[in-house]
Structure 1
Amino acid sequence: MVAGLALGAYVGWQLWGTTIVSDRTHRALVDDARRAWEGDEGGSGPAGAVSTSHGTVSAIVRIPRFGDDYAIPLLEGTDDDVLAAGLGRFTDGAAPGQVGNFALAGHRVTHGEPLRDMPSLRPGDEVVVETRAWTYTYVLDTGGDDLTVPFTSTWVLDAEPVNPDGGVQPPAAAGDRLLTLTTCAELFHTDDRLVAFGHLASRERRTG
Structure 2
Amino acid sequence: MSTTSAEPDAPRAGRPRRRRGWSFWLGLALVLSGLAILGWVGWQLYGTNIVSQKRHERTVERLQQEWDEPSGAADVQTDQGVADAILRIPAFGDDFAVPILEGTAEDTLASGIGHFDDSAAPGKVGNYALAGHRITHGEPLRDMPDLQPGDELIVETRDAVYTYVLDTGGDDLRVPFTAGWVVDAVPVNPDGGTGPDPDAKRLITLTTCAELFHTDDRLIAFGHLDSVDKR
The structure showing larger relative contact order (alpha-carbon pairs under 8 Å, at least 6 residues apart) is 1
Encode CA deviations 1:43-69: one digit per residue, 9 max, x unaligned.
1xxxx1222222111100000000000
Q: 2:208 aligns with which of 159, 180, 183?
A: 183
Is 1:23 paired with 2:42? Answer: no
Shift of 1:41: 3.8
Task: Give the share of equivalent positions with the same residue, in percent.
Answer: 63
What CA deviation, in whole Å up to 9, does each residue of 1:126-182 have, x standing for no partner?
A: 000000000000000000000000000000011110000010001223x11000000
Gap regions ≥5 residues in structure 1: none
Structure 1 position 196 matched with structure 2 position 221: yes
Please show how residues 99-178 of structure 1 align to structure 2 within 5 Å.
Answer: 99-173=125-199, 175-178=200-203
Letter paired with 2:123: G
TM-score (norm 1): 0.95
**TM-superposed deviation, 1:184:** 0.1
> Which of the two has higher C-alpha Rg?
2
Per-residue deviation at 1:40? 4.3
Deviations 1:61-119 (A, max 9, x none): 00000000000000000000100000000021001111000000000000000000000
Q: Normalising by the residue count of structure 2, what TM-score does the alignment of the two structures yield?
A: 0.86
Following the alignment from structure 2 to structure 1, what is the Cα–Cα distance between the partners of residues 158 and 79?
Answer: 19
Contact residue 163 and residue 228 of structure 2 kept, 8 A: yes
Residue 172 of structure 1: SS of its match in structure 2? Answer: coil
CA contact (8 A) 2:197 2:224 kept: no
1:13 has 2:43 as partner: yes
Matched with 1:97 is: 123
- Among 66, 87, 101, the residue aligned to 1:75: 101
The residue identity in structure 2 corresponding to 1:122 is Q
The answer to whether structure 1 residue 54 and structure 2 residue 80 are counterparts is yes
Q: Counterparts of 2:173 and 2:202 in 1: how far apart (Å)?
A: 20
Query: How far apart, CA to CA, are the structure 1 residues paired with 2:230 and 2:48?
Result: 35
Decide whether the 8 Å contact of 2:197 with 2:223 is kept in 1: no
Cα-Cα RMSD: 0.8
